[in-house]
Structure 1
């Protein structure tokens, strides 16, 4: 008797694969890939953030003003009154013959609405560029927050855009108030680094000056990060911003205090070197998120494109700031709109309830199949158990995150898997009732059931694909488990059980007892 056949061999290989790769998740071993549990199963933090998109427009205007200033300095083009007011840039070119140079430079920047009157320039962003900038700021915030959380070491964070300007952040595994605060600080930190020139001529007047008076001179009044009573008067147009940073690492000063060493790209290094060469004897303020961390004197030209930030950091604070700088500054700040904490005990209750549903449903199906279909039901139960192992193995290998809707998808998959076996067994029983042999009944049964099974499963698979494409995080989890379950159930029901029947067909034929094998006289 030939026991092994092609279909049975494929089935056994997939079962062995399923058992091996499902064990780490089932028994939580120290080796192998495991299924990641979602927020609703292991507890954690859920936040809804709003992106202040208008700040991105202001930031872009400021960067354009910085480019105008650097261009005029580099080309020795004399301009006067460079100021920013209500998302518009104003300045005057002192030499009419130099205006073509400025016009050419501005034409290279897309999305500008430039108006001129005599020697005066007014620059705004076009309405299309404003919409584009706001949209990009939200997309950039999603990517930046995700990068920060990945570098922070949180496992499987979920960061998704919702609507025009909102972001959903889910952080499984956040269990303490300290972890929650660290994650929130890291997410919301703009990490907007600016190198700004100190206005040495008016610095002594800073304590007697209002913000509007400072703005009249094109300046800003900023506080010291360690002493709010200490103020600096800096030029409104920064020399450099965080977009030129390529790396940031934690270091220690000579007094063993944590500092942040940053490195600029080639363009930033050139601008930094040129500015420090022209500003020997003056001070350069290092500003992070609107506060001055230090304002060292420039003693000589600083080449190499590197610098450092010191300001009384703890080691943890310095590490988080370095992560934020490496992953990029947020183009616009984010506001916490909603926060929900899911305790680990609630997640454990969800898992327990899901497991009760899974086990009880499986046991009831087992008994029904054994009583109604006899040994054919036993074969179907083997396929069902194999299907569960293979499903868990594939979820673990793909690194998918299992949520409560995903658990519901697994339970539903069990019903779908046994449904395929019910269709096959009923088709076999129909042929047996007509008086055909067991061999013919098995082959005709699978042939007749195949179309119905494929139609039903392909329809379900298409719906799952649509749910995954257009659904939110929880719906995606359900769609993933259903999709994998559909494919594994077809494998075990169509190929697996057929291979088993082909292997034991001589035994079925010899017994000539359809009641014992298929539950039919």
Structure 2
């Protein structure tokens, strides 16, 4: 029979009201966005009169979730970065040298030799002990920490004529590449999140590339300033200081320029005592003279190494190196057991804050090469929004007109459900914090057509049932029941496609898949339940003898 239980009616109405309530802030995008920004700023830095005024633009008791606008709608920066994974091989060999030197010290004196990047070559003073030396070095190897590399060692050791050559194994290179990409992704994400930008897209492309899209940022160069610096902080022993930029540092050493004093160069040991990877915190601060500085703190391992070195080298200079520049080289005055200290230099307050952000987010394990960069201005983004609004409005108007002319009163019911449908889509997008892009708008437009398609199936089925003279109530009831299987078949297959697009796609494709998938759910709900409730309530009120669809 043509009836709906009271609890079902209440549930349908509450669902529609809740969805439209959550979607409401998107109709007042500008004020709500300012309100949200002010609330975030007050939480981080305290209230000011200006922030309080912005906060008052939207009532606190109302929902404030918004659909985030993607890069093509808001404007922003697009970068495609290539991670130099070979840098990690070189760093690993640099870190291995002190370990090899100390292990062979009791057997025979050794000297490091010039070698290609990614290799470590060691010359034995006594070639006759080569077998024992090879075994000692091989004992330094560790198992590869991956399933695919199970049973393999991380280094390969060979020797001939008193020369030992050490390289990373292929299994370790693969594991290192994967680890480097994952670390780079996470660190880039942290750095961008520290700045507070909305809904950035940061994802891996291919074997060694990372796609970075940040809506709302001024330019690609600004984005590069945030993520382009590797911020590799190391603490290295100082061998000498001079002004000759062409001086030979010697094997195992590096000649690095001074950041503060132009024309001054430091010769430091390449292998660091402590690295930025062992930092657990970095904060902007001020030194004893009131100048901007950065305070830091090491983890337990770093604190122990830092304390041991300072205890054994009192009176010696100690270089603080950031991205191959010596930013400070203080003389160790006393033992520093706590694992904390302060970095001083000719910093501005902004520079010390940015450096703290970079160090706190972590050092990129390898350098980045930007192979593609684009800046999308807000004017172009606004043009995209206007074009999307126009396309949606034209499609919406055409569909509403068609349904009204073709199905009369029932078409008006479908049109009202269609408007609710679009509101529910925006409500769900706001609820999950999704990002809307131009392909996402295309998904909404497609959803409008699919929602109408479901109503057409129902109304045409009602027309067929009316021909059997079973009465209007029976015809409406059978029309909805018998059209349901066709509606579900069509929408389930489309939903499966949307799921596949989301799982395998990236960027704009995912945006399209999200709006399409959510639109399918809301379309089935509004086409079958909402329009049915409207028809039932109308029928109960009017009790017509005959109906025309």
Q: Normalising by structure 2, what TM-score?
A: 0.86
Deviation (angstroms), 1:84 = 6.6
Instruction: Check the 8 A contact 1:59/1:331 in 2, yes or no.
Output: no
Alignment of 1:459-478 (within 5 A): 459-478=493-512
**1:431 aligned onto 2:465:** yes
Q: Which residue number corresponds to residue 456 of structure 1?
A: 490
Instruction: Check the 8 A contact 1:141/1:330 in 2, yes or no.
Output: yes
Deviation (angstroms), 1:132 = 2.8
Q: Which whole-Å deviations, capped at 9, do the CAs of 1:37-66 have from their partners, x for residues lacking one?
A: 001111111111122221122122223335
Over 3 Å counting, the alpha-carbon distance change for 1:244 and 1:12 in structure 2 is same
**1:168 aligned onto 2:211:** yes
Instruction: Check the 8 A contact 1:3/1:503 in 2, yes or no.
Output: no
Q: Which residue number corresponds to residue 134 of structure 1?
A: 177
Instruction: Check the 8 A contact 2:143/2:154 in 1, yes or no.
Output: no
Q: Secondary structure at the match of 1:214?
A: coil
Q: Secondary structure at the match of 1:307?
A: strand
Higher mean C-alpha deviation, range 251-260 or range 6-15: 6-15
Q: Which residue number corresponds to residue 513 of structure 1?
A: 546
Higher mean C-alpha deviation, range 423-432 or range 103-112: 103-112
Q: Which residue number corresponds to residue 25 of structure 1?
A: 26
Match of 1:197 among 232, 237, 260: 237
- Partners of 1:286 and 1:57 in 2: CA distance: 23
- Partners of 1:195 and 1:333 in 2: CA distance: 19
Deviation (angstroms), 1:210 = 4.3
Over 3 Å counting, the alpha-carbon distance change for 1:83 and 1:238 in structure 2 is farther
Deviation (angstroms), 1:313 = 1.6
Q: Which residue number corresponds to residue 249 of structure 2?
A: 214
Instruction: Check the 8 A contact 1:223/1:229 in 2, yes or no.
Output: yes
**1:106 aligned onto 2:141:** yes
Q: Secondary structure at the match of 1:215?
A: coil
Instruction: Check the 8 A contact 2:4/2:533 in 1, yes or no.
Output: no
Deviation (angstroms), 1:451 = 0.9
Q: Which residue number corresponds to residue 349 of structure 1?
A: 383
Q: Normalising by structure 1, what TM-score?
A: 0.90
Q: Secondary structure at the match of 1:122?
A: strand
Gap runs ≥5 in structure 1: none
**1:89 aligned onto 2:120:** yes
Q: Which whole-Å deviations, capped at 9, do the CAs of 1:108-167 have from their partners, x for residues lacking one?
A: 674111235698643210122223323332232222111100011111111111122222
Instruction: Check the 8 A contact 1:285/1:295 in 2, yes or no.
Output: yes
- Partners of 1:196 and 1:148 in 2: CA distance: 25
Q: Which residue number corresponds to residue 73 of structure 2?
A: 41
Q: Which residue number corresponds to residue 287 of structure 1?
A: 321
Q: Secondary structure at the match of 2:250?
A: helix
Over 3 Å counting, the alpha-carbon distance change for 1:305 and 1:155 in structure 2 is same
Over 3 Å counting, the alpha-carbon distance change for 1:11 and 1:57 in structure 2 is same
Instruction: Check the 8 A contact 1:113/1:126 in 2, yes or no.
Output: yes
Match of 1:422 among 456, 461, 475: 456
Q: Secondary structure at the match of 1:297?
A: coil
Deviation (angstroms), 1:481 = 0.2
Deviation (angstroms), 1:77 = 8.7
- Partners of 2:106 and 2:458 in 1: CA distance: 85
Deviation (angstroms), 1:223 = 0.5
1 or 2 for the larger relative contact order (CA 8 Å, sep ≥6)?
A: 1
Higher mean C-alpha deviation, range 16-25 or range 366-375: 366-375
Deviation (angstroms), 1:9 = 2.1
Match of 2:224 among 184, 193, 211: 184
**1:479 aligned onto 2:513:** yes
**1:327 aligned onto 2:361:** yes
Q: Which whole-Å deviations, capped at 9, do the CAs of 1:319-377 have from their partners, x for residues lacking one?
A: 22211111111111111212211111111111111112212222222222122211111
Q: Which residue number corresponds to residue 5 of structure 1?
A: 6
Deviation (angstroms), 1:263 = 1.0
Higher mean C-alpha deviation, range 414-423 or range 60-69: 60-69
- Partners of 2:334 and 2:108 in 1: CA distance: 25
Match of 1:378 among 412, 416, 432: 412
- Partners of 2:536 and 2:159 in 1: CA distance: 86
Q: Which whole-Å deviations, capped at 9, do the CAs of 1:218-249 have from their partners, x for residues lacking one?
A: 32111001233101111121112111111111
Alignment of 1:40-79 (within 5 A): 40-68=72-100
Q: Secondary structure at the match of 2:249?
A: helix
- Partners of 1:196 and 1:312 in 2: CA distance: 20
Q: Which residue number corresponds to residue 233 of structure 1?
A: 267
Match of 1:503 among 533, 537, 546: 537
Alignment of 1:118-157 (within 5 A): 121-157=164-200
Deviation (angstroms), 1:479 = 0.4
Q: Which whole-Å deviations, capped at 9, do the CAs of 1:231-275 have from their partners, x for residues lacking one?
A: 111112111211111111111112221111111111111111111
- Partners of 1:506 and 1:441 in 2: CA distance: 15
Deviation (angstroms), 1:429 = 0.8
Higher mean C-alpha deviation, range 25-34 or range 264-273: 25-34
Q: Secondary structure at the match of 1:256?
A: coil
Q: Secondary structure at the match of 2:97?
A: helix
**1:315 aligned onto 2:349:** yes
- Partners of 1:260 and 1:208 in 2: CA distance: 30
Instruction: Check the 8 A contact 2:77/2:223 in 1, yes or no.
Output: no
